[in-house]
A and B are shown apart, each in its own frame.
Chain A
Amino acid sequence: MGVKVKRLFLIMVLLALSANCMDAALNFSVIGNFQARTGADEGTHAGIKEMELALQSPLTENIQANIFLSVHGQDDGSFEFHAEEAYFNLVNLPKTLTGFENNWEIGGKIGQKNIGFGKLNPLHPEQWRMLSAPLAFERLFGEEAVRGTGGQLEWAIPLPFFLQVELGLWNIEREEENTSDLVLKNKTASGRLWTSFSSSDENELELGLSTLQPLSKENAAANGADLTYRWYISSSKRYVFQSEYILGNPGDSTQTLSGGYVLNSMKWNTIWETGMRYDWVDSVSGEGNQWALILTRHGSETSKTRVECLMNKDSSPTFIIQYIFGVGPHAHTIQ
């Protein structure tokens, strides 16, 4: 049933975009993600991690269609095709439903998409300020983002500062190869409160609270909090502090799983950016922590090379090198 609904959304969004393909407003974005990974304990792997094609277009002044297709490189050299996200963005939901003009600031998304939980999950990995997923995400959620088919309401509360409430209902399909400790699946409700304060043009503080609650008790639940501080020191120099904390309940036990990360990232000029991340996790498979040192060279407006060194006390360091190019609006999202 879930697969059928997912395919239906994919076909609907594709059809809607095809009908609009001659429109100048149709935006194409292409993102290439090449990675090599090496470590004494895991050998060396290199290749295309992912190629992503994003098609985004307004269908009417009130509805946008978005589709993100990707090709993933597999360890055996083969490629796998994915429709990562396919959804309609409803700019003004009451108007879409009733046709009446209003100023209620309520929108929504319907289709298949990464669920709005925390800072990293809604974004595609090539948009992160880091290369690898934090340990807590890997252990609790798995290698892929928590993704569902369904919809969410978004209400931007009319205040002098940014405050958005998101409420969603999703059917999460757990991939067979996902062995993460938190079994998020089936019908799940999501919620996110996202706010931001800016005392000047140079700085901004963001806070978020997120939740994933299953509709049946035996499935897992997760709650999260995130904090981001950005300081724009000059045109090309900026500092970012970003942190997320996740608390998970597996559903079939009373054990509480938890984890998070703290990232310090400094962009020194138009070219160089350095980062340091500390991860920790306490999950079914035990406690763990690791450090990640991140060096990014922004080759141009549309390309970057990133090197990350992952270190923990149980294994020798792992080095990952990544080259990303991204063209189009999808390469410039709000983080």
Chain B
Amino acid sequence: MHTPFNKKITLLLATFCAVISLGGTLFAAPLQIVTSTAELADLTKSIGKDAVVVIPLVIKNWDIHHVEPRPSMVVSVRKADMLIRNGMSLDIWLDSVLTVARNERVMVGGDSYVDASIGVTKLDIPTGAISQAMGDVHRQGNPHYLLDPRNVLIVSKTIKDALIKKDPSHANYYQKNYEDFIANYSKKLVVWNEKIKVLKGKKAVTYHKTWVYFFKYSGVELAGTLEPVPGIPPTPGHIAKIKSRLQKGDVSYIILSPYYSDKEAKILAKDTNIKFLSLPTSVEIGSKDYGTYTQMIDTIINDLIK
């Protein structure tokens, strides 16, 4: 009973439906992903590419420990389809943003809440009772795990799996981007692994215990910190101890993150003739030296081997 006219209508409708459904897949609104740090934003964008819009809450190489939560962050989190955080209490301020934002998708336990530290082997996990006398000790361990470039392999897989779970229609796209990213990143790792060979066994004094993951990767040994305990600013007595340690002559570097006061470190470097380095610990959007994660690791390694 089908007439040519009916056939045309059916064909037209079928084409229309196909275009709509294909368009829905190809041109769906990108996922809005909020990350607590710029390095997580960079890694997420590398895998999500055009299918995601990534908004880092902190875009500068600032001390993530001391970020003040504020209402403008709430606006980003409220609209987010997914939230990816560093975790391990480094971005603990994010909890109050989540409370005000009331976006159940990205609340702790929500289906689009991602703690990027899951799966990473943690260092410096305190044993026994934790007290105020120990300073700012994170009971989950040292949270600066992204300073070991090998951990990116774990974190990027966590991000890829979360993207596929959230947006299965782009599963192949995310998988392909992830594989491309890992292929390119592995080449970078080979170059870095070769470069850091000269660092093995060298000793460094740092301001804060930020660098334990990078040191484990590179073989650099931690000879001391300018902070007597994590989070407590240097005291004259402790600086004197560090100075006598440096005067043994076997320490190669005094390393500081740019957001710490460099006063004591520069004096110590001058008095002991040890190389002073201010190295980034976070990606800063727009920076030519550490605007992406790989640039940041390049900068760290190149400055150390210079």
Interface set of A (CB-CB < 8 Å, partner B) = 25, 27, 58, 61-62, 64, 89, 91-92, 95, 105, 107, 154, 156, 158, 160-162, 164, 194, 196-198, 201, 204, 206, 230, 232, 234-236, 238, 269-271, 299-303, 325, 328-329, 332-335
Q: Are B65 and A162 in contact (CB under 8 A)?
A: no
- Complex contact B71–A329 (CB within 8 A): no
How many residues of chain B are within 8 Å of chain A by beta carbon?
A: 40
A105 and B101 CA atoms in complex are apart in Å by 9
Contact A64 B75 (CB under 8 A): no
Closest chain-B Cβ to A8's Cβ sits at a distance in Å of 24
- Contact B102 A154, beta carbon cutoff 8 Å: yes
* B186 adjacent to chain A (CB < 8 Å): no
Interface residues of B in 73-100 (CB under 8 A from A): 74-75, 78, 92-93, 95-97, 99-100
Determine if B63 and A156 form an interchain contact, defined as CB atoms under 8 angstroms apart: no
| B107 touching A334, Cβ below 8 Å | no
B126 within 8 A of A: no
> From B101, which residue of chain A is reached at the shortest CB distance?
A156
In the bound complex, CA of A302 to CA of B70 (Å): 19
Q: Mark B172-200, 1 if CB is under 8 A from A, else 0.
A: 00000000000000000000000000000
List 8 A-B pairs, minimum CB-CB distance, nearest first: A300-B231, A235-B259, A196-B71, A235-B62, A198-B72, A329-B95, A162-B71, A332-B93
Task: Point out residues on B near A: beta carbons under 8 Å.
Answer: 59-63, 65-66, 68-72, 74-75, 78, 92-93, 95-97, 99-102, 104, 107-110, 132, 135-136, 230-233, 258-261
Chain A nearest CB: distance from B106 CB in Å?
Answer: 10
The 8 Å CB contact of B71, one of A64, A206, A300, A332, is A206
Using known A-B contacts A299-B232, A300-B136, A329-B92, determine if residue A91 contacts B71 with beta carbons closer than 8 Å: no
Minimal beta-carbon separation of B284 from chain A (angstroms): 10
Residues of A within 8 A of B261 (CB): 269-271
CB closest residue in chain B, given A57: B108
Chain A residues contacting B107 (CB-CB under 8 Å) are: 58, 61, 91
CA distance A303 to B65 in the complex (A): 13
Interface pair B75/A162, CB less than 8 Å apart:
yes
With contacts A301-B231, A303-B132, A325-B132 taken as known, whether A61 is within 8 angstroms of B59 at the C-beta atoms is no
Closest A residue, CB atoms, query B57? A201
**Docked-complex contact B71 and A61, CB < 8 angstroms:** no
Determine whether the beta carbon of A270 is less than 8 Å from that of B260: yes
Contact, CB under 8 Å: B59 / A64: no
* A197-B110 Cα distance, complex, nearest whole Å: 28
Q: State the CA gap A230–B67 with chains docked (Å).
A: 13
Q: Which of A105, A234, A334 contacts B78 (CB 8 A)?
A: A105
CB contact under 8 A between A300 and B135, given known A156-B74, A156-B102, A204-B72: yes
